[in-house]
Structures are given as C-alpha cells and as structure tokens.
Amino acid sequence: MAKPHKGFPSVMPDPAAVRTMFGRIAARYDLANHLLSGGVDFWWRQRLVRAVHDTRPSTVLDLATGSGDVAFALADVLPPDVLITGMDFCPPMLAEAVKKRAASPRWATVEFQPGDGLALPLPDASFDAVTIAFGLRNMADRHGCLAEMRRVLRPGGRLFVLEFSQPFFWFRPFYYAYLQSVLPVIAGLVTGDRGAYEYLSGSIGQFPDRAALSSEVRAAGFRSVTAAPLTCGIVALHVAQV
C-alpha cells in the first residue's frame, strides 16, 4: 500500500478554521468538486449509495453532509420510509443543503441538523448506517470521530467511509503534481479562495492509505472492515460493521 506523500506539509485540522473555510466556499463548493474531479465524484457517490442500499437500512446518518449530495443520492434510491439525517457543523454548508432540498419531492423528508462529528448530539444505537464522504480527513481527532460513529450505530449497523486515499504506485507522480500545482489554481479561480484548496490538497496528500485507515477503523471497535480502491486508488470506500 502507498504511504502518505512526504512532499505535502503536515496538516492538523483545526475545527474553527475548517468551519470558517467551508463557510467561505459553501456557495461554489459543488461546482468546484465537479470540475476538479472531472465529474467522477458522481460515480464515487453512487458506489457509496449502492453499498448502503444493499444493507437495507431503515435509518441513515450522513455525517459531514456538507451541501447534502450524499443524503440526496441516498434518498433517490432508498425506500421513501427510510429516515435520512444529514449532519454538519458548518451552518453555511447546511444552508446550501436546505436550499437544494426543494429541487425534488423525494428529498423533502431528508432532515438536516447541526452537529459536531467529535460530539454527536444523538443517542446511542440510533442508526442502522452511518456514511461520511470526504469528511473524515477534516476531523481534528479521527479516532474520536470513528468512536462517535460507532456509538450511534445499532448492533450490526454499518459504517461507510468514502475518502481520498493514496493512489497506485504508477499514478502517484501525476496525481501529486495535480494536487500541488493544478488543483489549487483551478479551485481558486472557481471559488475565489485558493488558500482553502491548498489546505485541502495537503490534507489529501497526507491522509492514510487504505491499509492504515482500515487499521484505524478496527481500533475504533469495528469489525469486518473492507476497503475498495476507486479511480487508480485516489479514493477508497471503507465499509465496516459494529
């Protein structure tokens, strides 16, 4: 497995700074994601959603929901009686999600709540599935976040983590060059905030690979941990069970 790239500065997410940063880019966050990924982010989310669908949950928490893309994609494929809650600690991002909810009648039942991934305002054992897409690397304490997600899952419930990873060996030089030189420039033009994406590219470059993150998930008390590489390994879908 590939290791985090040493050419990126070490990044330790500061909760207040992360909240402020996402607040600044909330209005153009979706557009930037689609452009920077070449649209592949739609496919990544569909892989996550199909995996959740196959477990037939009755309640789902989408943590670090941002503008709600994963929550809405879940609502599109899960039965209408499934309760879906999107949670985020950045009010401007939640405001974008609430605005988007009006676009489809299937999304009307998706509930959005403010909440911190390190101290979820939720009772124990209250969800069949918890999803988090591209949000775990922004947590100041990954183990604490994983433990909180395990706490709110029911026995037998499943965790789904869609997150950037370290690419296959042959693809690394191209990918790291893109992260360091191209992504911040394009994102800066789209959002007007190059600094935010310099932080995000660093957080991607320093994030654990599939094996290391799988170990962290197990250390938080999960079992049956799997990790599927997507798009040359730059993204991975981790699935685990309580």
For residue 181, the model assigns a pLDDT of 83
Model confidence at 10: pLDDT above 70? no
Kindly state whether residue 163 falls inside one of the protein's structural domains: yes
- Across 143-176, b (16+ Cβ under 10 Å) vs e yields eebbebbbbbbbeebbbbbbbbbbbeeeebeebb
Kindly state whether residue 26 falls inside one of the protein's structural domains: yes
Q: Which residue has the higher pLDDT, 25 or 156?
A: 156
User: Which conformational region is residue 56 in: left (phi greater than 0), alpha (psi within -120 to 50 degrees), or beta?
Assistant: left
| C-alpha span between 242 and 231 (Å, rounded) | 28
3 pLDDT tier (thresholds 50, 70, 90): low
For residue 205, the model assigns a pLDDT of 80
Prediction pTM value: 0.90
User: In this predicted model, what pLDDT tens digit does every residue of 162-172 receive, in sequence order?
Assistant: 999 999 999 98
Q: Domain of 23?
A: 15-169+207-241
Kindly state whether residue 224 falls inside one of the protein's structural domains: yes
6-10, 42-46, 194-198, 223-227: range with lowest mean pLDDT:
6-10
Kindly state whether residue 198 falls inside one of the protein's structural domains: no
> 24 φ, ψ to 5°?
-70, -35
Kindly state whether residue 187 falls inside one of the protein's structural domains: no
User: In this predicted model, what pLDDT tens digit does every residue of 45-60 receive, in sequence order?
Assistant: 999 999 999 999 999 9
Model confidence at 11: pLDDT above 70? no
Kindly state whether residue 177 falls inside one of the protein's structural domains: no
Kindly state whether residue 135 falls inside one of the protein's structural domains: yes
For residue 12, the model assigns a pLDDT of 58
Q: Which of 80, 66, 72, 74 is nearest to 103 (CA)?
A: 72
Model confidence at 8: pLDDT above 60? no
The count of domains in the chain is 1
Please state, rounded to an integer, the average pLDDT across all residues of the chain.
90
- Across 81-111, b (16+ Cβ under 10 Å) vs e yields ebbbbbbbbbebbbebbeebbeeeeebeebe
User: In this predicted model, what pLDDT tens digit does every residue of 84-109 receive, in sequence order?
Assistant: 999 999 999 999 999 999 999 999 99
State the CATH number of the domain containing residue 72.
3.40.50.150
| C-alpha span between 230 and 237 (Å, rounded) | 7
For residue 1, the model assigns a pLDDT of 47
For residue 204, the model assigns a pLDDT of 83
Kindly state whether residue 144 falls inside one of the protein's structural domains: yes
